[in-house]
């Protein structure tokens, strides 16, 4: 298989007063194209630091990170912004929608940064909203939609540029159980039908069950990395 993510010996050190501590302690991890991976761990385990590094929102002090064969640590800020726009889609716990714009306009946003014409943006945004089942909500503002609908808009925004990688940080954290199941089932279908690689941070075991692989962090280290059998993702894994 093709490695989409290659992290080797990543160390991230923070300073608190006169003390230093490693949020990431020589972490190495490969993720193949098309995988659906849960990143788990308690608060302070390093999972959020690792996720920020994958999203190029933060850099390790040492080590290496290649995304789709590109050395992320060698790129300047403009190049990293371009990579985020073209190769990554982000889904956050708090939805991060712009409150005074419609669902359609929120989904258009990544395409504006990419310089796509308005006509093409509208076509693609409508298609993305159709994929997440919100074609009838195009003109609704965020405050006119439920939490689940807002998260679906955020997912549509994440996939509209057709990136190979989706990074989801506690995407069900603000949702009730029923809506969480709906969102996770959508991620499962997205992974199966499009082959997109999905990396999802969660602290909830029942959410992690939708993923095919679970990586657990503790004290800046990976303490467990395994494929799941008989998950909610559709049965056993060979």
* pLDDT exceeds cutoff 50 at 238: no
Sheet holding 213-218, edge to edge: 88-92, 165-169, 197-201, 36-40, 213-218, 221-227
The pLDDT, as a whole number, for residue 1 is 58
**Residues 172, 175, 178, 182, CA torsion sign:** negative
The pLDDT, as a whole number, for residue 124 is 95
Tokens found for residue 34: 């098309």
Give the global pTM. Answer: 0.92
Answer for the pair 187, 168: CB distance below 8 angstroms, yes or no: yes
The pLDDT, as a whole number, for residue 229 is 74
- pLDDT band of 237, cuts 50, 70, 90: very low
Residue among 233, 228, 164, 221 at smallest CA distance from 46: 221
The pLDDT, as a whole number, for residue 214 is 96
Model pLDDT for residues 13-67, shown as the tens digit of each residue? 998 888 888 999 999 999 999 999 999 999 889 999 999 999 999 999 999 999 9
Model pLDDT for residues 163-214, shown as the tens digit of each residue? 999 999 999 988 999 999 999 999 999 999 999 999 999 999 999 999 999 9
Please state, in angstroms and rounded to a whole number, the distance separating the CA atoms of residues 192 and 164: 13
Beta bridge partners of 144: none
Please state, in angstroms and rounded to a whole number, the distance separating the CA atoms of residues 223 and 208: 16
Mean pLDDT, all residues of the chain: 92
Neighbours of 177 (CB within 10 A): 9
Residues with Cβ within 8 Å of 228's Cβ and at least 6 positions away in sequence, in order, are 208, 209, 211, 212, 213, 214, 237
Beta bridge partners of 70: 67
Model pLDDT for residues 111-150, shown as the tens digit of each residue? 988 889 999 999 999 999 999 999 999 999 999 999 999 9
- pLDDT band of 234, cuts 50, 70, 90: low
The pLDDT, as a whole number, for residue 155 is 94
The pLDDT, as a whole number, for residue 230 is 58
The pLDDT, as a whole number, for residue 201 is 95
Please state, in angstroms and rounded to a whole number, the distance separating the CA atoms of residues 111 and 120: 9
Where along the chain do its domains lie?
3-99+146-227
Q: Which contiguous run of DSSP H or E holds residue 79? A: helix 77-87
Q: Specify the CATH number of the domain 3-99+146-227.
A: 3.40.50.300
Q: Where are the beta strands (DSSP E) in the chain?
A: 3-16, 19-32, 36-40, 62-67, 70-71, 88-92, 165-169, 197-201, 213-218, 221-227
């Amino acid at each position: 298989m093709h490695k989409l993510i290659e992290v080797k010996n990543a160390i991230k050190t923070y300073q608190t007063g006169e003390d230093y501590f490693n949020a990431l302690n020589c972490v190495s991890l490969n993720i193949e194209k098309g995988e659906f991976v849960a990143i788990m761990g308690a608060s302070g385990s390093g999972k959020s630091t690792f996720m920020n590094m994958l999203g190029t929102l933060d850099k390790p002090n040492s080590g290496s990170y290649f995304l789709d064969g590109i050395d992320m640590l060698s790129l300047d800020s403009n190049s990293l912004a371009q990579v985020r726009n073209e190769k990554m889609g982000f889904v956050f716990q708090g939805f991060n929608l712009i409150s005074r714009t419609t669902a359609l306009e929120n989904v258009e946003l990544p395409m504006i940064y990419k310089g796509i014409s308005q006509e093409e943006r509208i076509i693609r945004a409508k298609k993305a909203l159709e994929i997440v089942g919100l074609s009838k909500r195009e003109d609704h503002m965020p405050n006119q939609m439920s939490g689940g609908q807002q998260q679906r808009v955020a997912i549509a925004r994440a996939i509209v540029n057709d990136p190979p990688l989706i990074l989801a940080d506690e995407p069900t954290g603000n949702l009730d159980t029923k809506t969480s199941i709906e969102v996770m089932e959508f991620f499962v279908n997205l992974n199966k039908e499009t082959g997109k690689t999905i990396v999802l941070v969660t602290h909830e075991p029942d959410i992690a069950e939708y993923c095919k692989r679970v990586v657990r962090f503790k004290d800046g280290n990976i303490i467990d990395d395994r494929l799941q059998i008989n998950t909610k993702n559709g049965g056993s894994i060979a």
